[in-house]
Amino acid sequence: MKIVAAVALGILLGGLVCVIGNADVSADAPAAGHTVDAAACMRLTSLRLPNTTITSAQVVVAGAFKLPAGASGTAEGFADLPAFCRVELSIKPSSDSDIKSEIWLPLSGWNGKFQMVGNGGWNGFIQYAALAAALRRGYATASTDTGHAGDTASFAPGHPEKLIDFGYRAVHETTLRGKTVAAALYSAPPRLSYFTGCSGGGRQAFMEAQRYPDDFEGIIAGDPGWDRAAESVQLIAAAQATHKDAASFISKEKFAVLHQAALDACDAQDGLKDGLINNPLRCKFDPGVTLCKGADAANCLTRPQVEAAKKLYAPIVDPQTGKEIFPGFEPGTELRFANNTAAPRPLGMADDTFKYTVIGDPNWDFRTLDIHRDFVRSRETDKGIVSATSTNLKPYVSRGSKLIIYHGWADQNVAPLSSVNYYNELIKVLGKKTVEDSVRLYMAPGMGHCAGGEGPSVFDTLTPLDEWREKGIAPKEIIASQMAGGKVTRTRPLCPYPQEAQYKGNGSPDHAESFVCRRDQ
Ligand SMILES: [Ca+2]
């Protein structure tokens, strides 16, 4: 009824009512190219899409977008947006589904491409900032709330269909709708479609490449938490290590002591003392060097603290099978360890995985985790719905589609070695040549989870992905910037793995030109 009413109103008022803001953008809109008018946007409400209700299709005039009440993100940062057609959808692929999605389409200057943006953690919010970023670059773009509201997994118990929506279906369905809506508005389908996401969005990226190889021609997976079943065990085991008893707890201040010791051991090893450990895999750091010589003091760790710290860097191994479940964290990450391992509970993403999807008890005590038993349970309950562990990317790459993975070496949430391991597995499965033609991995020294950290963490992966897929220009180094007070304080190349940025021996260590990408011998 809603759709009928909206269309009738549109016909009645000549399509000029669907404008948010105080300007009428339809009057003088040129008809050439990919320029469309307000009436065309509003007519989208009459589109018939499977299991879908278009709840709204309205033009938002340039600079008029306001973050909806209750939405995730900051209210600032939308004033520079161009005029766009904002389409809101409700998708119900199952009787228990309630997927809310939005598609944003520029009224003029569409670049002919579509970009789906991802969600982190258990995120159930439309990603407005990411939509805005894509729109600014001329993309038709879409985001979904993944089928639930809020940022916990508390929706999952008793709702297996909603968990499927979260795991993979909401992104896929929204992608299909996004392409169809763009085709209807511009009278031409997007010539290329890309996915961009970090953290949980990296997981979604892997899921898409593995499960729906036809959805995208290019995918960017940042700090991907692709194996949530295993990663959650590792994160909870890390929290267990520092919460074993009061003596094992490591404070933020003590983590700073540990960080300095890691730098003392490994910073200069890469040829440049710059506060960054270029390749932590070559860093043999023993937390035992911080052991107090006598009584506990501010500048040292007690024996129980040293033992707890060692567990944070160690891989989690199944004590029954002897197999590694998930890698540990890397030296150089210590300043952010306090966010997870010194907090009262483990990282919410992992805690929720166990509370709501594995154990089914919101009062579950993470100290009771048994690594073997609960890893088996975690895999069994996941069933490949949330974890994206397949390395068969042949259907994806055989279409000429590209995958760029990046990961901060100082990621405190998703152990960065998991991305290296996945990349190495791809080489085994697909062969080196195919991987070189289709996949790039960039490891960022000193970068935290998706952003921040001690190293340069601001960089653009979309341009190299686009140039690779559209123009055949294979990506090489990517220049990353470090920012402070809104200014660039340092630039550094990120190199295609296994190459590393090595200091040439002269020139400013804060300038990317002073480095060369090469493989360490
Ligand atoms: Ca260094």
Side chain identity at residue 434, one-letter code: T
3-class SS of residue 425: helix
Burial of 474-508, coded b for 16+ CB within 10 Å and e otherwise, reads: ebebbebbbeeeeeeebbbbbbbbebbbbbeeeee
Q: If you measure from the C-alpha of residue 224 to the centroid of ligand 1, how many angstroms do you get, rounded to a whole number?
A: 25
How many Cβ atoms sit within 10 Å of the Cβ of residue 17?
Answer: 16
Gap from CA of 201 to ligand 1 centroid (Å): 30
Q: What is the pLDDT of residues 51-108, one digit of tens each?
A: 999 999 999 999 999 999 889 888 888 999 999 999 999 999 999 999 999 999 999 9
Q: How far is CA 118 from CA 56, 216, 282, 336, in A?
A: 22, 13, 33, 24
- Identify any residues that bridge with 59 across adjacent strands, giving them in sequence order: 19, 85
Cβ(150)–Cβ(348) below 8 Å: no
DSSP letters for 331-373: TT-HHHHHHHTTSSSS-HHHHHIIIIIII--TT--GGG--HHH
On whether the CB atoms of residues 477 and 500 are closer than 8 A, the answer is no
> pLDDT for 183-221, tens place per residue?
999 999 999 999 999 999 999 999 999 999 999 999 999
CA-wise closest residue to 362 among 349, 352, 347: 352
Active site residues per annotation: 199, 411, 449
User: Above 90 in pLDDT, residue 326?
Assistant: yes
Ligand 1 centre from 503 Cα, in Å? 9
CA distance linking residue 302 with residue 461, whole number of Å? 43
* Least reliable range by pLDDT among 293-297, 345-349, 476-480, 495-499: 345-349
Q: Are strands 19-20 and 52-60 parallel, antiparallel or unpaired?
A: parallel
Backbone angles phi, psi at 398, to 5 degrees: -70, -15
The predicted pLDDT at position 243 comes to: 92
**Cα(497) to centroid of ligand 1, in Å?**
17
DSSP state of 73: S
Note the pLDDT tens digit of each residue in 472-488. Answer: 999 999 999 999 999 99
pLDDT (average), residues 350-379: 96
With vertex at residue 131, the alpha carbon angle to CA 130 and CA 133, rounded to the nearest 5 degrees, is 60
Give the side-chain half-sphere CA count within 13 A for 321.
Answer: 11
CA of 274 to the centre of ligand 1 (A): 5
What is the model's pLDDT at position 2? 35
Please, what is the average pLDDT of the chain? 92
Q: 12-21, 146-155, 367-376, 426-435 — which is least confidently predicted?
A: 12-21
Q: How many CB atoms lie within 10 A of CB 8?
A: 10
Quote the ligand 1 centre to 287 CA distance (angstroms).
19
Distance of CA 215 to the CA centre of its chain: 18
The mean pLDDT of 377-402, rounded to a whole number, is 97
pLDDT at residue 7 is higher than 60: no
The owner of tokens 């997007």 is 190
pLDDT digits (tens, 9 = 90+) for 8-54: 333 333 333 344 443 333 333 333 457 899 999 999 999 999 999 99
Tokens 């499965």 belong to: 429
Query: What's the first-to-final CA gap in the chain, in angstroms?
Result: 68
The H helix count followed by the E strand count for the chain is 16, 16
Which residues have a beta carbon within 5 Å of ligand 1, which is an ion? 267, 270, 272, 274, 276
Query: Cα(202) to centroid of ligand 1, in Å?
Result: 27
pLDDT tens, position by position, 393-450: 999 999 999 999 999 999 999 999 999 999 999 999 999 999 999 999 999 999 999 9
**pLDDT band with cut points at 50, 70 and 90 for residue 342:** low
For residue 356, CA distances in Å to 96, 110, 122, 152, 388 come to: 17, 42, 11, 9, 19
Both structure tokens of 521: 């011998």
State residue 53's pLDDT score.
98
How far apart are alpha carbons 256 and 264 in whole angstroms? 12
The Å distance, Cα 500 to ligand 1 centre, comes to 12
Residue 1 confidence (pLDDT) above 50:
no
Query: Can you tell me the mean pLDDT for 242-266?
Result: 96
User: How far apart are the C-alpha atoms of 463 and 89, rounded to whole Å?
Assistant: 29
> Which H helix or E strand runs over 440?
strand 439-444
User: Residue 5's pLDDT is what?
Assistant: 35
Report pLDDT digits (tens) over 115-141: 999 999 999 999 999 999 999 999 999
The answer to whether residues 275 and 263 touch, using CB atoms and an 8 Å cutoff, is: yes
Give residue 343's pLDDT band: very low, low, confident or very high (50, 70, 90).
Answer: confident
DSSP code at position 496: B
The proportion of the chain whose per-residue pLDDT surpasses 70, expressed as a percent, equals: 93
User: Closest Cα to residue 139, out of 220, 85, 205?
Assistant: 85
Give the CA count within 13 Å in the CB-facing half-sphere of 251.
11
Instruction: State residue 33's pLDDT score.
Output: 53
When mean pLDDT is compared across 62-76, 223-237, 289-303, the lowest value belongs to 62-76
